[in-house]
Amino acid sequence: MSATLSTAKAKVDHYAVIGNPIAHSKSPDIHARFAAQTQQDLQYDRLLAPLDGFLASVQSFIRNGGKGLNVTVPFKLEAYALATTLTERARAAGAVNTLKFDGTEMLGDNTDGIGLVTDIVRNAGIAVANKSVLLLGAGGAARGVILPLLSEQPARLVLANRTHAKALDLAHRFSNQPRLKVCEFAEVEDTFDIVINATAASLASEVPPISPRVFGAHTLAYDMMYGKEPTAFMRFAKQHGAIVRDGLGMLVEQAAESFYLWRGVRPETSDVFAELRERL
C-alpha cells in the first residue's frame, strides 16, 4: 500500500456498535446508509467484547483511532460508569448507549428515549402532549425513555411493573415529576392513549399480564421489540381495538440521534426505515 493510500485510510473516522452478542445488530447497515446520504467519510463496524472485557475493548478501540461507539446489551451500565461527561438524558436513565471520544473526554448519551418519542410523534403522527401514557416494565429499556416522554408533557405517565418495588425504585430517579405514577400490572384498569411495552416479554412471544381494558379504539400500542411479524403484544392489543406499531422506527431514530451527536449532521430516516422494513 502506498503512503498516500495509507494516510487516507488512517484519516477515516471509525465508529462501531459494541455488545455481546453483536452479530445480529443492524447498526452497521443503518449508519452506512446515513453516511452515504450525508456524504460523511467514516467506517462503522460491529465490536464483540468479552463479557468481562468491556473496558479493555473500548480502550483498544480508542487507541486505534475510534471516535465513537453505540453500546448495546449488556454494557450500557458499564458505559455509564466509564463516561467522563453525561448528558441530562443519560444521567436520568442511569445508562449510556452512545459514547463520543474527544481527546481524554468520553461523552455518554442515551438516545433511546428521543428515538422512541421521534418515532411516535413525527413518524406515527401521534402527540404525547396531554395524553395518558402507560409504560410497561421497569428494566433497562424503560429507564432510557422516561425523561424524554415526560419532556413531551403528557397528562400522566404510569409506570407499571410486575413488582411495585422495582417500579418505585426507578420512579425515584424522577421524584420531582408529579405526572409520573407507579403501580403493578394487576392494578392497571384505566384506558390509555398510548401503551408502550418496554418488557422483554415479546422475546418469548408472551404478553405482559395486563388487562385488555388499557386499550381503546384510539390507543397506540407500541412494542419496543420488532420483527418480521407482529409481536404477541401487538396481536393482543390489536384484538382489543388498538392501533399497533413496533420498535423498528425507534431503532432507526435513536441511531440518527447518535449520528448527529458524532457528526453534527442529522440524517433523513424515512428511506432507511423503509429499506429495513422491506428486508425483515
CB 115 within 8 A of CB 254: yes
Please name the residue that has the C-alpha cell 421497569: 138
Position 156 scores a pLDDT of 97
> How would residue 177 be classed by pLDDT, with cut points 50, 70 and 90?
confident
pLDDT value, residue 76: 95
Q: Does the pLDDT of residue 184 top 60, yes or no?
A: yes
Evaluate if residue 168 carries a pLDDT over 70.
Answer: yes
76 has catalytic annotation: yes
Q: Is the pLDDT of residue 72 over 90?
A: yes
The single-letter code of the amino acid at 56 is A
| Residue 155 labeled ligand binder | no
Which percentage of the chain shows pLDDT scores above 90?
92
Question: Residue 144 phi/psi, 5° resolution?
Answer: -80, -10
Per domain, the residue ranges of the chain are: 3-110, 113-246
Residue 10 binned pLDDT confidence (cut-offs 50, 70, 90): low
Q: What average pLDDT does this structure show over 66-86?
A: 96
Q: Binding site annotation covers 140?
A: yes
Query: Is 87 among the annotated ligand-binding positions?
Result: no
Which residue type occupies 20?
A: N
Q: Indicate whether this model's pTM tops 0.75.
A: yes
Of residues 3 and 277, more confidence is placed in: 277
**3 — pLDDT class (breaks 50, 70, 90):** very low
- Please pick, among 9, 11, 67, 76, the residue that the annotation labels catalytic: 76
Q: Is 246 annotated as a binding residue?
A: no
Does 137 show up as a binding residue in the annotation?
Answer: yes
Say whether pLDDT at 244 is over 70.
Answer: yes
Q: How far is CA 138 from the centre of its chain?
A: 14
- Is 108 annotated as belonging to a binding site? no
- Model confidence over 192-217: pLDDT tens digits? 999 999 999 999 999 999 999 999 99
Alpha-carbon separation of residue 15 from 28, 68, 99 (angstroms): 9, 5, 10
> What does the alpha-carbon distance between residue 145 and residue 119 come to, in Å, rounded to a whole number?
12
Pairing of strands 66-71, 98-102: antiparallel
Residue 4 has a pLDDT of 43
Report DSSP letters for 135-181, one per residue: EE--SHHHHTTHHHHHHT--SEEEEEESSHHHHHHHHGGGTT-TTEE
pLDDT at 51: 97
Residue 31 among known ligand-binding residues: no
* Distance separating alpha carbons of residues 255 and 273, to the nearest angstrom: 11
Name the average pLDDT for the chain.
Answer: 94
Closest by Cα among 197, 179, 190 to 216: 190
> What CATH superfamily classification does 3-110 receive?
Leucine Dehydrogenase, chain A, domain 1 (3.40.50.10860)
At residue 46, does pLDDT exceed 70? yes
Asked whether this chain's domains 3-110 and 113-246 adopt the same fold, the reply is yes
Contact 201, 233 (CB under 8 A): yes
Fold that domain 113-246 belongs to in CATH: Rossmann fold (3.40.50)
